[in-house]
Amino acid sequence: MTARETTVLFADVTGSTRLYEAAGDRVALEAIGNCIDTLRRAAESAGGRIVKTIGDEVMVLFPTPDQAADAATRMHLAVDALPIVAGQKLSVRIGFHAGPVIQRENDVFGDTVNMASRLVEQATRDQVLTSAETVALMAPALRTATRRLYDITIRGKLEDVALCEFLWRKSPDITHLPSAGVPRKKPTTDARLRLRFGDKEIVLRRRIETITLGRDPGCTFVISDATASRQHCVIEKRQDKFVVRDHSANGTFVAVAGEDEAVLRREEMALRGHGSLAFGQSTAQAADVLEYWCE
């Protein structure tokens, strides 16, 4: 066994369960296999070495975090270009972490591998997550395409891990070419979101601001309900919309006035109008309910 420094990346295909239900086993298996091959080619084009494929997940090694970030961008773009199958669109979620690994034959082991695996579990579809520790090793241009999210607790580690998102759509490696003749929508700068939880009220209006909700004492709104996760969900502003993104075990329940209640499970949703959020159970049953107004 030999030790080496590397960056470990996991890419997990999302949407496969629905595809099997919609298209049947044979068609779904072929489409997912094509998606995995697409991920492999994108990773190799960025200098990665495929270690193995585990179900719908690919594990890749890169010499540097910059190459892993480049590969993550290429992977998302390549999968996004794949055709829709039986009305279903496959996507991918990615996590990567840099550090030492133990290499044995053609496989690698160790804390860095475990960290990268936990990061991809935290990611939602179309998202790339890494650690603040890894971001510090990236080139300045790529660091500007990251943002700090929140801390997560990982079994076996004494301290929480600072989670960061790599904004691959804003990566300096991507050139955006707006369609000719189509005016670009300007974000509404005065849009705001009012949140009320118990006797605490917050107005979210800044261009970049993240509200965290969960049982962790460090969250913006601390949820006491046992069905809530430590880092249950986040609310953030994106251009002229406010988005809630679930990271929990039991789901985030969103009730928009006049509509059926929605349940987010490692998914995200743009908030609209007036409504409420509950954590791990329905808003009709929960004691801890967050009320919101989009204004």
Spatial separation of the C-alpha atoms in residues 30 and 202, rounded to whole Å: 48
- Greater pLDDT, 239 or 267: 267
pLDDT tier at 245, thresholds 50, 70, 90: confident
Considering only 26-30, 152-156, 212-216, which range has the smallest mean pLDDT?
A: 152-156
Spatial separation of the C-alpha atoms in residues 119 and 129, rounded to whole Å: 6
Nearest to 163 by CA among 124, 221, 109, 110: 124
Q: What average pLDDT does range 154-169 have in this prediction?
A: 80
Output the pLDDT for position 179. Answer: 34
CATH number of 193-294: 2.60.200.20
- The listed range with the strongest mean pLDDT (42-56, 113-127, 272-286) is 272-286
Output the pLDDT for position 74. Answer: 92
Output the pLDDT for position 180. Answer: 36
- Greater pLDDT, 168 or 3: 168
Label residues 221-243 b or e (16+ Cβ within 10 Å = b): bbbebebbbbbbbbbbbeeeebe
Domain boundaries, the chain: 2-170, 193-294
Q: What average pLDDT does range 255-273 have in this prediction?
A: 91
Residues 207, 237 contacting (CB under 8 angstroms): yes
Output the pLDDT for position 216. Answer: 86
DSSP strand E in the chain: where? 2-14, 49-54, 57-62, 91-104, 107-109, 128-131, 146-152, 161-166, 193-197, 200-204, 210-214, 221-222, 233-238, 241-246, 252-256, 262-264, 268-270, 274-279, 289-294
Output the pLDDT for position 183. Answer: 42
Q: What is the CATH topology of the domain spanning 2-170?
A: Alpha-Beta Plaits (3.30.70)
pLDDT tier at 186, thresholds 50, 70, 90: very low
Output the pLDDT for position 190. Answer: 63
Output the pLDDT for position 247. Answer: 85
- Mean pLDDT over each residue of the chain, to the nearest integer: 85
Considering only 166-170, 221-225, 249-253, 261-265, which range has the smallest mean pLDDT?
A: 166-170
Spatial separation of the C-alpha atoms in residues 260 and 287, rounded to whole Å: 19
Counting residues of the chain whose pLDDT is more than 90, the rounded percentage is 46
195-231 confidence digits (pLDDT tens): 999 989 988 875 546 788 999 888 889 999 999 998 8
Label residues 256-294 b or e (16+ Cβ within 10 Å = b): beeeeeeebebebbebeeebbbbbbbebeebebbbbbeb
Output the pLDDT for position 158. Answer: 67
- Would the pLDDT of 44 be above 70? yes
Considering only 14-18, 88-92, 142-146, 238-242, which range has the smallest mean pLDDT?
A: 238-242
Could you tell me whether strands 210-214 and 233-238 are parallel, antiparallel, or unpaired per DSSP bridges? Answer: antiparallel
Output the pLDDT for position 111. Answer: 87
Task: List C-alpha distances in Å: 124 to 11, 198, 246.
Answer: 11, 29, 8
pLDDT tier at 292, thresholds 50, 70, 90: very high
Supply 188's token pair.
Answer: 């509404």
Spatial separation of the C-alpha atoms in residues 72 and 88, rounded to whole Å: 22
User: CA 80, 256, 216, 211 torsion: positive or negative?
Assistant: positive
Q: Which residues contact 179 (CB under 8 A, 6 or more apart)?
A: none
- The listed range with the strongest mean pLDDT (33-37, 103-107, 153-157) is 33-37
